């Protein structure tokens, strides 16, 4: 069963929201590998306008792009190395390595590497029968790392000099007089207060940037 791009985007937002809940409940990040892997696959499918691999536990790759590329997706949080299975690496034609960065309890996705398997292979190391890519190689100035492309804006609200945008991966961006603010939340609190948006959840905890931004946009629409 294939998913539409809208379904993939919504599934990614749901997965990120569930990841946030697990963090709020005190779950160690190391125990959320099932979620980090799924988030990475959905993100890769979204930006390549592709599909998740149809077979359960598909060998060698996780996503098939709109152009038919077989993509192996690796997602990490704080690991120092990314392991690869050399017996199945040839099944993929492209690799994407993503990092989930957590700031104030909120996860965001950073694209660390996107390249062909041929470019990847010289970067790998094999020690005691295990083949892996050291994460610090991704930060090397000698490596070409493709930055995340511009994500599509899916919702927007405007108030006075502020423009609040929600991107397709759930990220909230706030601009003032056309200039993007480095920190979105302080401005969101001001906009929320002036437009009657409650900055608190029903549980009495403060809304995170993504939730507050979405509620602000809904109030301004």
Residues 135 and 157 in one domain: no
Count of domains for the chain: 2
Please indicate, yes or no, whether residues 39 and 104 belong to a single structural domain of this protein: yes
Is residue 109 one of the residues assigned to a domain?
yes
Residue 105, domain member (yes or no): yes
CB 29 within 8 A of CB 23: yes
pLDDT score at 1: 60
146 in any annotated domain: no
Q: What is the structure's pLDDT at 142?
A: 44
CATH of the domain at 127: 3.40.210
Burial class (CB in 10 A: 0-12, 13-18, 19+), 57: exposed
**What pLDDT score does 201 carry?**
79
Question: Of the residues 114, 139, 164, which one is the last residue of a structural domain?
Answer: 139
Please give the chain's pLDDT, 221 residues, in tens. Answer: 678 888 888 888 888 888 888 887 888 888 888 899 999 999 999 889 899 887 666 788 999 999 999 999 999 988 889 999 999 999 999 999 998 888 766 788 888 889 999 999 999 999 999 999 998 877 544 444 444 346 778 889 999 999 999 887 678 889 999 988 878 888 999 999 999 999 987 767 788 888 899 899 999 98
Same domain, 175 and 130: no
Residue 196: inside a domain: yes
User: How big is the chain by its Cα radius of gyration, in Å?
Assistant: 19
**Residue-range definition of the domain harbouring residue 190:** 153-220
Any domain includes 145: no
User: Which one of 106, 139, 172 terminates a domain?
Assistant: 139
Same structural domain, 16 and 120: yes
Residue 144 belongs to some domain of the structure: no
173 exposure class (CB count in 10 Å sphere: 0-12, 13-18, 19+): middle
Can you give the pLDDT at residue 147?
Answer: 44
- The last residue of a domain, from among 77, 105, 139: 139
- pLDDT score recorded for residue 53: 81
Q: How far apart are CA 21 and CA 15, in angstroms?
A: 10
SS (H, E, C) the chain: CCCCHHHHHHHHHHHHHHHHHHHHCCCCHHHCHHHHHHHHHHHHHHHCCCEECCCCCCCCCCEECCCCCEEEEEEECCCCEEEECCCCHHHCCEEEEEEEEEECCEEEEEEEEEEEHHHHHHHCEEECCEEEEEHHHHHCCCCCCCCCCCCCEEEEEEECCEEEEEECCCCEEEEECCEECCCCHHHHHHHHHHCCCCCECCCCCECCHHHHHHHHHHHHC
Residues 134, 182 share a domain:
no
Closest C-alpha to 45, from 78, 84, 2: 2
**pLDDT for the residue numbered 150:** 61
Domain co-membership, 175 together with 108 = no
């Amino acid at each position: 069963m294939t998913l539409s791009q809208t379904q993939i985007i919504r599934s990614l937002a749901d997965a990120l929201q569930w990841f946030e809940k697990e963090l709020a409940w005190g779950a160690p990040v190391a125990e959320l590998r099932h979620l980090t892997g799924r988030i990475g696959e959905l993100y890769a499918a979204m930006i390549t306008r592709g599909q998740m691999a149809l077979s359960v536990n598909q060998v060698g790759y996780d996503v098939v792009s709109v152009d038919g590329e077989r993509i192996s997706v690796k997602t990490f949080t704080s690991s120092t190395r990314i392991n690869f299975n050399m017996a199945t690496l040839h099944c993929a034609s492209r690799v994407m390595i993503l990092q989930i960065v957590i700031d104030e309890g909120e996860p965001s996705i950073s694209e660390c590497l996107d390249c062909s398997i041929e470019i990847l292979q010289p970067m790998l190391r094999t020690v005691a029968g295990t083949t892996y890519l050291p994460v610090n190689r991704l930060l090397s100035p000698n490596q070409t790392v493709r930055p995340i492309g511009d994500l599509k804006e899916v919702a927007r609200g405007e108030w006075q000099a502020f423009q609040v945008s929600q991107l397709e991966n759930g990220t909230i961006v706030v601009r003032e007089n056309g200039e993007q603010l480095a920190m979105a939340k302080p401005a969101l609190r001001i906009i929320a207060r002036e437009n009657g948006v409650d900055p608190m959840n029903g549980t009495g905890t403060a809304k995170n940037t993504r939730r507050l931004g979405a509620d602000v946009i809904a109030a301004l629409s």
